[in-house]
């Protein structure tokens, strides 16, 4: 398991949830919600620099069949712009199916109302995504996901997977 802080990003149409982990890569925690639009990439780049992140994970919302739809295309485009802004920090795309559902259920179990959950659901989904990434890397010894290609909506092959 690599040591170092990682960020996870859950890109929504209105808000972007951001989570981070401790330097040992053990526990993911909600960090911030960034308004989607002008300045969103630079704000996430600032958060990454401020925390000395070694990697940023962007959730890839694939369909249940595993195919990319419109939301996945938007996430890939965002990841490409982010990779261009934060290079040489790697940006990885990771399947995020069910993270929002799991995060919402956990917040509901914690007693949060629907209105209260709406304000933090993106952060919680990013934390759920990041915790899964950390756990998977601990099990396999390898980074999870596919590297985003800076400035594009493509991913590059990563033969470390």
Can you list the domains of the chain with their CATH numbers?
A: 6-142 (3.30.420.140)
Over residues 85-98, the pLDDT tens digits come to 999 999 999 988 65
User: Given this model, what pLDDT does residue 158 score?
Assistant: 42
Over residues 71-85, the pLDDT tens digits come to 888 899 999 999 999
Q: How many CA atoms lie within 13 A of 121 on its CB side?
A: 19
State the Cα–Cα distance between residues 23 and 25, nearest whole angstrom: 5
Ranges under pLDDT 50 in the chain: 157-161
Secondary structure E strands in the chain: 6-11, 15-21, 28-35, 55-60, 91-95, 146-148, 155-156
User: Given this model, what pLDDT does residue 42 score?
Assistant: 97
Q: Which two tokens stand for residue 102?
A: 């799991």
């Amino acid at each position: 398991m690599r040591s170092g802080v990682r960020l996870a990003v859950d890109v929504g149409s209105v808000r972007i949830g951001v989570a981070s982990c401790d330097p040992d890569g053990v526990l993911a925690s909600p960090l911030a919600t960034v308004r989607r639009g002008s300045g969103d990439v630079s704000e996430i780049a600032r958060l990454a620099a401020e925390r000395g992140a070694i990697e940023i994970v962007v959730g890839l919302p694939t369909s249940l069949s595993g195919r990319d739809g419109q939301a996945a295309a938007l996430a890939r485009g965002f990841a490409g712009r982010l990779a261009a802004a934060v290079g040489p920090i790697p940006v990885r795309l990771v399947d995020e199916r069910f993270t929002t559902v799991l995060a919402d259920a956990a917040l509901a179990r914690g007693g949060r109302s629907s209105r209260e959950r709406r304000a933090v659901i993106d952060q919680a989904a990013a934390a759920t995504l990041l915790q899964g990434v950390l756990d998977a890397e601990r099990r396999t010894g390898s980074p999870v996901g596919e590297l985003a290609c800076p400035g594009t909506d493509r991913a590059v092959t990563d033969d470390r997977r």
